[in-house]
Chains A and B, each alone.
Chain A
């Protein structure tokens, strides 16, 4: 008698784990852990340019992913990656990263710029980038401790028009000098 492959497997007990064919769909952790090779374990980036996702609000992450997916936000890799996930999967990952602790970083920053940024931030950016950038209004991303080179790349994209700035942010950013904007980014990068 010849034995079919599946029969053999059952008889020998091989595939004991795998034979439980009924697997649950990928959990939030399964989906999100795959992002960590670039963004760091649990979304805490070791830097110096990949952004941390840890402690980001789920609204900000979902908003960013949807814009990456539709092409509304420019990206190097994220545009293609975001197309690999359904809206439900994106929501699950947003929730996963929002539950992680904000990732405090120690970056080499300019003290004078931090001080200048600190004096400018409340009046200019504080309406949306709340609590020294530790939180954000609605889908505004947190920026506290975010990696400086990342924020510089994003600001450059905003200023060149590649990334579309929210209208009310534009009202504040447009009149500012490059030096003041740079100071603000140093400030946010320094917040722990």
Chain B
């Protein structure tokens, strides 16, 4: 048999992925790095982009991406699934094989359990990995200790948060489907800052849309710890009036401090009891667990302070933090922000490794929200560094003038593009 070009390449691809699996299994990345290895933790909105862009800008730098799962499910658009607009989560799911094949990113499926900043070693469930620079994009963890009765292992199975997409998203949808008509759905929103400021209000819209069609007599009760709707207030109120009048009972300044999973109730400030047939408790948030382990969380014990240009931790040299876990000045915690931060971080890591001048940050945030099956709105802004902090460029930040079908069409394309960026 002759080996033609295409088969030869196939063989090569096969061989290299085998080699990868082997070195992942034996922890074969604990040796010397040659001074040019970047390890990225977390294959979500921030991590995939940092890994890909470093390789695109300088393929002589070795990039190892460590992620606990073999796939990633996007939170953006998961509210549409919860509302019944999507059959399954496949349009929201990406894999990592093309990042490896197209860009030579070494992908390791493992749990990162420790970081030794002094010796520059990352500890994982499959062995140690040495780094020259480390990028953490681990997303969020929950401050469950602030809710009495909340148990991280069991509570989400009864009162799903669905604030990390995947099985939790599916569970919340199933609970809604199983709910008897007339039952109430309670959504509790934590104090800002949290991942995706407009997310909870989009969720309320999508759930109300489902109830309106399928559960006569049911409504959504929003218990918001914040003094008011955090994002796109005018647009949400307009959409709710237009489509879900009487179906969304919004209650401001109602902080849930205790839960009762047996009685299916939550307690506001420990006294006012609110019952629900389905209860979606979105707990208050902090940087991903591994950021705490690595010692890069600030004095607030929640988020990671970083240099606004390089996203290097102000607490540990050679460790960079991007995405929801970091404090990026005026930028909200969103997938689009994580995408922009990752690119700036990648640019300056490459420049620093090559002894080149560092470049100031320029980034964008966009967040689309659906109000109904066909209408969306968005908030958008351009961000830059001024006097050592990330600020919004004056005049660039704003929201859609109205609910818009055109924006819904563009929103779907946004999702397609950003997920394609992350996975190819």
CB-contact partner of B406 in A20, A41, A76, A147, under 8 A? A76
Could you tell me if B359 and A80 are in contact, using CB atoms closer than 8 angstroms?
Answer: no
CB-contact partner of B358 in A9, A14, A23, A83, under 8 A? A23
The dominant DSSP class at the B interface is: mixed
B301 nearest CB across to chain A (Å): 19
> Which residues of B, 326-354, contact A by the 8 Å Cβ criterion?
336, 339-340, 343-344, 347-348, 352
Given known A-B contacts A30-B362, A34-B363, A76-B404, A81 and B409 have beta carbons under 8 A apart: no
The docked-state distance in angstroms from the alpha carbon of A153 to that of B336 is: 24
Within 8 Å CB of B398, what residues of A? 80
B102 nearest CB across to chain A (Å): 10
Residue from A12, A50, A77, A83 with most neighbouring chain B CB atoms (10 Å): A77
Interface size, B (range): 35 or more
Could you tell me if B409 and A40 are in contact, using CB atoms closer than 8 angstroms?
Answer: no
Q: Judge if B312 is at the interface, Cβ distance under 8 Å.
A: yes
Within 8 Å CB of B363, what residues of A? 34
Q: Judge if B2 is at the interface, Cβ distance under 8 Å.
A: no
Could you tell me if A46 and B336 are in contact, using CB atoms closer than 8 angstroms?
Answer: no
Could you tell me if B380 and A47 are in contact, using CB atoms closer than 8 angstroms?
Answer: no
Residue from A13, A38, A81 with most neighbouring chain B CB atoms (10 Å): A38
Q: Judge if B412 is at the interface, Cβ distance under 8 Å.
A: yes
Given known A-B contacts A23-B357, A30-B362, A84 and B307 have beta carbons under 8 A apart: no
Within 8 Å CB of A14, what residues of B? 314-317
Given known A-B contacts A76-B404, A80-B381, A38 and B360 have beta carbons under 8 A apart: no
Digitize B381-400: 1 where CB-to-A-CB distance is under 8 Å, 0 elsewhere.
Answer: 11011000000010111101
Could you tell me if A24 and B357 are in contact, using CB atoms closer than 8 angstroms?
Answer: yes
Within 8 Å CB of A27, what residues of B? 359
The docked-state distance in angstroms from the alpha carbon of A37 to that of B52 is: 13
Q: Judge if A17 is at the interface, Cβ distance under 8 Å.
A: yes
Stretch at the interface among B104-112, B188-196, B415-423: B415-423
Given known A-B contacts A35-B364, A37-B336, A38-B366, A47 and B314 have beta carbons under 8 A apart: no
The docked-state distance in angstroms from the alpha carbon of A9 to that of B347 is: 23
Q: Judge if A31 is at the interface, Cβ distance under 8 Å.
A: yes
Within 8 Å CB of B420, what residues of A? 40-41, 46
The docked-state distance in angstroms from the alpha carbon of A47 to that of B416 is: 7
B328 nearest CB across to chain A (Å): 13
Q: Judge if B222 is at the interface, Cβ distance under 8 Å.
A: no
The docked-state distance in angstroms from the alpha carbon of A91 to that of B410 is: 25
Instruction: List 4 additional A-B contacts (Cβ < 8 Å) besides A15-B312, A81-B396, A83-B396.
Output: A9-B314, A46-B417, A47-B417, A84-B393
30 contacts between A and B (CB under 8 A): A14-B316, A15-B312, A15-B317, A18-B309, A24-B357, A26-B360, A30-B344, A33-B53, A33-B343, A37-B339, A37-B340, A37-B366, A37-B418, A39-B417, A41-B420, A46-B417, A47-B413, A47-B417, A49-B413, A50-B414, A50-B417, A76-B406, A77-B378, A80-B380, A80-B381, A81-B380, A81-B382, A83-B396, A89-B362, A147-B413
